[in-house]
Structure 1
Amino acid sequence: MSRVPVFGVSDFVAVFNQTVAYAYPSVVIEGELSSFRVSKNRWVYFDLKDEDANVRFFGSVYNLPGPLEDGMMLRVVGSPQLHPKFGFSITVQSIQLAGEGTIKKAAKLLEAKLSKEGLFEQARKRMLPYPPKFIGLITSAESAAYADFVKVIGSRWSGLEIGLYDVQVQGEDAPTQIIAALEYFNSHAQAPDVLVITRGGGSSEDLQVFNTESVTRAVAGSRIPTLVAIGHEIDVSLAEMAADMRASTPSNAAELLVPDRQRELAELHDVNQRMSDSVQRAIARAREKLSAFDEQSRDYINLVIRRQRVQLESTRKLLSVINPSTVLKRGYALVYKDGTLVRSKTATKRGDQIQIRVADGQFGAEVQ
């Protein structure tokens, strides 16, 4: 019979930890959350349990995907160890929500928390440039979402640049990569006009990254306007709610960002045709008015001429009436004394020599 080794307590703890670290440097455990608590806003303690057992976990608040409550299903990655004073526990490396019900519940809790902070307020939303000259695209380079977005952009518009930052859009590393992409573009010397974060549809677990607190805050904190397009019509992710604009699919995102070249050309043609027709109508109306004005002008000038002729004839007749020659022809005579017209009998006396002018001549006479 082999001899059973005898350990001191400290030695056993050391050997146990070495053995476990060699055999299971990391483990993934899924279970129901219980006894969850936060200490000093820095450390978290909780258990994961099933019907037959429970395991203690210890970690940092920075490991949390968002607000948690007992009863949620979690998938935790961690390293098991036996602490000299506190016993067995698993030190948390990462935490993922497990199960559609838990994911939705966690999203609701986080939504309530961030709403109180005003992260989803409409007043925070910025207008996107239309069309942008430079688009920063955050997605998987191998995804259908990337292909669809680029294809639709190219078919609708030209002359713009797309800068791709290749990231995972699901899984444990996705949040860190998406946040790094946002930080990269925001610190870029030649920053894009707009940032687009997109992926196709998927299950609640696939889309979980877009409901994490870290990604949602990073989207809301971007200095560059953001458009988030997750191909999932049923539920709107928190990242979409925090963005300046959301789209239902990658293709829809492209349609919102740039106009349709063919439609724009057709509209320009229609506008040009309407303007041309309007100008032609204006010219026709002007010609009609000018023609009418010419006719009215001629009528007016003829009227003025006729009036002048009538007035001239009236003046001529008046002059004829008051002309001394005309008066003399009617039997009247003009009397002059020393070349001055005699207007009264008192202007002469007996013996004065006078001249008398009649219609056909003049003669002299003496006043008697």
Structure 2
Amino acid sequence: MLGQDPVFSVSDAISVLNQTLEYAYPTIQIEGEISEFRVSKNKWVYFDIKDDESKIRCFGLVFQLTTPIEDGMKVLVIARPRLHNLYGFSLNILSIKPVGEGSIKKSQDLLKAKLEKEGLFSDERKRTLPYAPEKIGLITSEQSAAYADFIKIMNTRWQDVEVNLYNVAVQGEEAGDEIIKAINYFNLLACPPEVLVIIRGGGSADDLSAFSLENVTRAVAGSRIPSLVAVGHEVDVSLAELAADMRASTPSNAAELLFPDKSQITKYLNKQRDNFDLLVDAYINNQQAKIDNVLINISHQLQKFIDYKLSQLTLADSMLEGAHPRTALKRGFAIVQKKGKLVSSIKQLSMNDNIEITLSDGEFNADVRGIIKS
């Protein structure tokens, strides 16, 4: 009848209502508490989202869970509302994340325990960062205070650093994917940087949550480039920081850990040079003193040797002098010769032989007038 509302079958009614929902609310964001959470066949997830008065059935795929979920956690769900032919109204989950300090911490603790069990935070897998790298890959928001602080401290402490910035969102829905994309970009470069530096300033637990997502944490741990991560303030510790090769308490501290203070190094090297000069001078003086002592000792030993040899020469000269015929002649002895031959026995002489007699002060000739044998 004209003017009457149409009559639908149940299936048609559900189809029309789904079209209406899709047109009016293609997606919907709902915040509430998780209850009756379960995973089916390691593929599907089912749970209810509720408040004090109502609840809605939800379902989705396991891979859509970027962080662990359990009953009692407060979450923000982005979903498509729909009516199922058999099961009624439900939400088809597109994304889900914890909200509120308690739920975010609980989810992070669950994921931390899981990744820790896998060894992602083990000290054995951490690498030593190069000292004062010449080229770094910096992942952060170019407009952030963290970026400004890091660059300021770096330029104050060290110069001539090639900084390759990859500008990313550091909070919000897109932050996790952008951070992962940046890590992959640097790792695929033919000439990658020496260090990956990932930084973000302080904020609420929700603001910092991208740095504790499982896929971000795994990307940091899987980087072939050594990583340094600094997120938030000193009390904030994200899972990405635990997976990194080194963690810094703040972006400024990251620059301090990565780059030495050139002015302090210059002072240190100057002091070391002065100390070295003093050591060299002391060594030279010590060695010179040793050489002087050796020379003095050699001089003394040489003088003793010379004196000893001179005394030996004097003694030998005295002995030679005593053995010289002149010495005997001076004592009254004489040298007797006959016809140029030395006479040493009375048997060599005969009466009237002419002999030459040598005394200490001259010679004379004599004839033998008598021979007396002893």
Query: Common fold, TM-score beyond 0.5?
Result: yes
Report the equivalent of 2:156.
155
Cα displacement (A) at 1:309: 3.0
Report the equivalent of 1:206.
207
Cα displacement (A) at 1:333: 3.9
Provide closer, same or farther for how the CA distance between residues 145 and 317 of structure 1 changes in structure 2, counting only shifts above 3 A. same
Report the equivalent of 2:111.
110
After TM superposition, list the pairs within 5 Å mapping 1:31-110 onto structure 2. 31-110=32-111
Query: Aligned equivalents of 1:78 and 1:363: distance in 2?
Result: 159
Moved more, 3-12 or 207-216: 3-12
Report the equivalent of 2:316.
315
Task: Decide whether the 8 Å contact of 1:119 with 1:242 is kept in 2.
Answer: yes
What letter corresponds to residue 220 of structure 2 in structure 1? Answer: V
SS in 2 for 1:25: coil
Report the equivalent of 2:221.
220
What letter corresponds to residue 81 of structure 1 in structure 2? Answer: R
SS in 1 for 2:79: strand
Provide closer, same or farther for how the CA distance between residues 7 and 337 of structure 1 changes in structure 2, counting only shifts above 3 A. farther
Provide closer, same or farther for how the CA distance between residues 92 and 351 of structure 1 changes in structure 2, counting only shifts above 3 A. farther
Provide closer, same or farther for how the CA distance between residues 145 and 365 of structure 1 changes in structure 2, counting only shifts above 3 A. farther
Q: Output one character per residue of 1:154-200: Cα deviation in whole Å (capped at 9) or x when no partner.
A: 11111111111111111111111111111111111221100111111
Cα displacement (A) at 1:139: 0.8
Report the equivalent of 1:268.
269
Cα displacement (A) at 1:140: 0.9
Query: Aligned equivalents of 2:152 and 2:298: distance in 1?
Result: 66
- Long gaps (5+) in structure 1: none
Return the TM-score normalized by structure 1: 0.91
Query: Aligned equivalents of 1:341 and 1:4: distance in 2?
Result: 180
Corresponding pairs, count: 367
Provide closer, same or farther for how the CA distance between residues 253 and 365 of structure 1 changes in structure 2, counting only shifts above 3 A. farther
Provide closer, same or farther for how the CA distance between residues 73 and 352 of structure 1 changes in structure 2, counting only shifts above 3 A. farther
Task: Decide whether the 8 Å contact of 2:166 with 2:182 is kept in 1.
Answer: yes
Task: Decide whether the 8 Å contact of 2:221 with 2:244 is kept in 1.
Answer: yes
Task: Decide whether the 8 Å contact of 2:34 with 2:75 is kept in 1.
Answer: yes
- Long gaps (5+) in structure 2: none
Query: Aligned equivalents of 2:127 and 2:337: distance in 1?
Result: 108
What letter corresponds to residue 38 of structure 2 in structure 1? Answer: R
Task: Decide whether the 8 Å contact of 2:356 with 2:363 is kept in 1.
Answer: no
Moved more, 195-204 or 9-18: 9-18
Query: Aligned equivalents of 2:69 and 2:348: distance in 1?
Result: 143
Cα displacement (A) at 1:203: 1.1
Report the equivalent of 2:235.
234
What letter corresponds to residue 330 of structure 1 in structure 2? Answer: R
SS in 1 for 2:31: strand
What letter corresponds to residue 329 of structure 2 in structure 1? Answer: L
Report the equivalent of 1:134.
135
What letter corresponds to residue 178 of structure 2 in structure 1? Answer: Q
Return the TM-score normalized by structure 2: 0.89
Query: Aligned equivalents of 2:82 and 2:339: distance in 1?
Result: 158
Q: Output one character per residue of 1:299-343: Cα deviation in whole Å (capped at 9) or x when no partner.
A: 444444433332322221111111122123223345667866666
Cα RMSD between the aligned structures?
2.6
Provide closer, same or farther for how the CA distance between residues 60 and 316 of structure 1 changes in structure 2, counting only shifts above 3 A. same
Cα displacement (A) at 1:358: 4.4
Q: Output one character per residue of 1:122-176: Cα deviation in whole Å (capped at 9) or x when no partner.
A: 0001000111111111111111001111111111111111111111111111111
Task: Decide whether the 8 Å contact of 1:356 with 1:365 is kept in 2.
Answer: no
Q: Output one character per residue of 1:96-115: Cα deviation in whole Å (capped at 9) or x when no partner.
A: 11111111111111111111
SS in 2 for 1:141: coil
What letter corresponds to residue 210 of structure 2 in structure 1? Answer: V
